[in-house]
Amino acid sequence: MSQQRLFKQVDVFTDRPYFGNALAVVLNGQDLDDEAMQRLARWTNLSETTFLLPPTHPQADYRVRIFTPGGELPFAGHPTLGSCHAWLEAGGQPRRPGRIVQECAVGLVELRHDQGRLSFAAPPLRRRPISATLLAQIAAALDIRSQHIEAAQILDNGPVWLGLLLADESAVLALQPDHEALRKLGHKVGVCAIKPDPFDSRLIARSSREARAFARPVPAVAPVDAAQANAPTLEVRAFAAPIGVHEDPVTGSLNASLAQWLIEDGVMPERYCAYQGQCLERDGQIFIERDADGQVWVGGHAVTCIDGHVTL
């Protein structure tokens, strides 16, 4: 029998509503079967919809199941931050102040709440080279040449991404993929490039975007801390046709695996900011930090846009 369940729609990786990545959260998902969860995920038509449940692990504060329109995920970044934001806003009390433990299909994920934003500990990364044949197929689907790709890896931290590093951000922003070709290849693809000047180039890009949007107001650059202010930044795009999402606005799991790869290989510093969503008129900002123990943290702001009930 259907019942009224607490529901929130949260915008993640932004401190301003409607400029990040939207997430639907059902706060009391008990007694819902897989079919009901999947049906709502298809109906919301968001990149992810989550369902909060009582934990089964003694160290966890809550459990979450994560669904895309096309299926369930073992882990995803923006649903992790958005679900935690919704859980805290609804009165959730972590066992340890400032530290939250989420249980999901990939295992336990630790989050911290500081500097006015949430961060999750990136799950362990497994990575390996991409074969020349697959790389050529992906490049063709992206309408670029393989030699324009500076580095490439298969990245697996629960979700599997093909990570590509291009030479400059203009090449990333100019991509117009053949999404049907990517769907047939069966791989999600994350593309990035280093932005050497995080402020001037960002303001120029936003000015161009504002003109394209008929002078629609664009938010100011979100502040970063002193350690990140002078660091290079990363421009990121995420193409996920195999799970029913042509382009994801802002992607936590991809940014986590990109950070683990690029920091480990000395391409990016241990603290930096990434930006994603410009081509979708979004303005996602992701805060990356690798701590003294080598743990990569992926952080961002979250705001609630819809607060009410859903009938399930």
Position 146 scores a pLDDT of 83
- Fold agreement (4-122+301-311, 126-294): yes
CATH of 126-294, one of 3.40.1160.10, 3.20.20.370, 3.40.50.1240, 3.10.310.10: 3.10.310.10
Half-sphere exposure for 290 (CA within 13 Å, toward CB) = 17
Query: Strands (DSSP E) along the chain, which ranges?
Result: 4-12, 21-26, 49-53, 62-68, 71-73, 99-104, 107-114, 117-121, 126-128, 149-156, 160-166, 188-195, 233-240, 245-248, 271-276, 284-290, 296-300, 302-311
Position 223 scores a pLDDT of 45
Counting every residue written for the chain, the total comes to 312
* 1-5, 117-121, 214-218, 242-246: range with highest mean pLDDT: 117-121
- Summarised one tens digit per residue, pLDDT across range 93-148 is 999 999 999 999 989 999 999 888 999 999 999 999 999 999 999 999 999 988 88
Question: CA 70 to CA 247: how far, in whole Å?
Answer: 14
Which pLDDT band holds residue 7 (cuts at 50, 70, 90)?
A: very high
| Rg (the chain; Cα; Å) | 19
Q: Which residues contact 242 (CB under 8 A, 6 or more apart)?
A: 70, 182, 183, 185, 186, 187, 188
Residue 310 has pLDDT above 90, yes or no: yes
Tokens of 21: 């990545």
Amino acid type, 52: L
The whole-number average pLDDT for the span 40-68 is: 96
Question: CA 43 to CA 58: how far, in whole Å?
Answer: 33
For the chain, which residues make up each domain, given as ranges? 4-122+301-311, 126-294
Q: Which fold has domain 4-122+301-311?
A: Diaminopimelate Epimerase; Chain A, domain 1 (3.10.310)
Position 228 scores a pLDDT of 63
Question: CA 226 to CA 236: how far, in whole Å?
Answer: 22
Reduced to 3 states, what is the DSSP secondary structure of residue 144?
coil
Position 116 scores a pLDDT of 83
The β-bridge relationship of strands 21-26 and 4-12 is: antiparallel
- Summarised one tens digit per residue, pLDDT across range 265-307 is 999 999 999 999 999 999 999 999 999 999 999 999 999 999 9
Tokens of 197: 């000047």
Catalytic residues: 48
First to last CA, the chain: 8
Q: What is the mean pLDDT of the chain?
A: 90
- Summarised one tens digit per residue, pLDDT across range 12-46 is 999 999 999 999 999 999 999 999 999 999 999 99
Among candidate residues 153, 233, 226, 146, the one with its CA nearest the CA of residue 189: 153
